[in-house]
């Protein structure tokens, strides 16, 4: 899901903020069930920047760090694996804490939804669900580590 989140945040950063063009599927504003789907309204709102930096810059950085940590969990040594896994949980917990705020801003302050922002929110929620599942329900994490977990192949007798 981090790859999808990275794609959505990169699209917004490049197409909307750099090229100053409308995002695909966000033009013109659509109303669906009383909710306005209007990326431009969300992305041009005063809530779309922090200290003058577009939130998409932070989103791209968030998903890149997420992917680097996933790589370290998958291919790091035992020491790196343990540290990266714990860091990944904390990192994703940080992300999941921001999602409710961002949703409230879209729905109640801006009164519009951006499909790309929603894609990023969903990616963060699913990523947090995945890490939580492995941390809290799978106690033997080493068995899921692709580098250190090995399947024993039985040796057959009488093979020349």
User: Cα(9)–Cα(6) distance, rounded to whole angstroms?
Assistant: 5
Q: How confident is the model at residue 160 (pLDDT cuts 50, 70, 90)?
A: low
> What pLDDT sits at residue 96?
97
Q: What is the pLDDT of residues 29-83, one digit of tens each?
A: 666 666 788 899 999 999 999 999 999 999 999 999 999 999 998 888 888 988 9
> What pLDDT sits at residue 43?
93
> What pLDDT sits at residue 106?
93
3-state secondary structure 92-120: HHHHHHHHHHHHHHHHHHHCCECHHHHHH
Q: What is the pLDDT of residues 95-154, one digit of tens each?
A: 999 999 999 999 999 999 999 999 999 999 999 998 988 888 765 455 555 555 554 545
> What pLDDT sits at residue 74?
83
Q: Where are the domains of the chain?
A: 2-144
Superfamily designation of domain 2-144: VKOR domain (1.20.1440.130)
Q: Report residue 81 as tokens.
A: 């694996």
This prediction has a pTM of 0.81
> What pLDDT sits at residue 140?
47
Closest CA to 131 of 61, 73, 62: 73
Distance, C-alpha 123 to centroid of its chain: 4
pLDDT > 50? residue 27: yes
């Amino acid at each position: 899901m981090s790859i999808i989140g990275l794609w959505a945040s990169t699209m917004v950063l490049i197409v909307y903020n750099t090229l100053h063009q409308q995002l695909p599927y966000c033009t013109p504003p659509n109303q669906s069930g009383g909710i306005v789907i209007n990326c431009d309204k969300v992305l041009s709102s005063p809530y779309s920047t922090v200290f003058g930096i577009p939130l998409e810059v932070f989103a791209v950085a968030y998903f890149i760090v997420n992917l680097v940590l996933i790589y370290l969990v998958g291919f790091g040594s035992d020491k790196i694996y343990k540290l990266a896994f714990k860091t990944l949980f904390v990192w994703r917990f940080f992300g999941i804490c921001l999602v409710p705020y961002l949703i409230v801003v879209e729905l109640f302050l801006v009164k519009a939804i951006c499909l790309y922002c929603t894609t990023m929110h969903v990616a963060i929620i699913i990523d947090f669900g995945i890490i939580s599942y492995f941390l809290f329900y799978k106690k033997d994490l080493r068995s899921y580590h692709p580098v250190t977990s090995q399947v024993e192949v039985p040796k057959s007798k009488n093979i020349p």
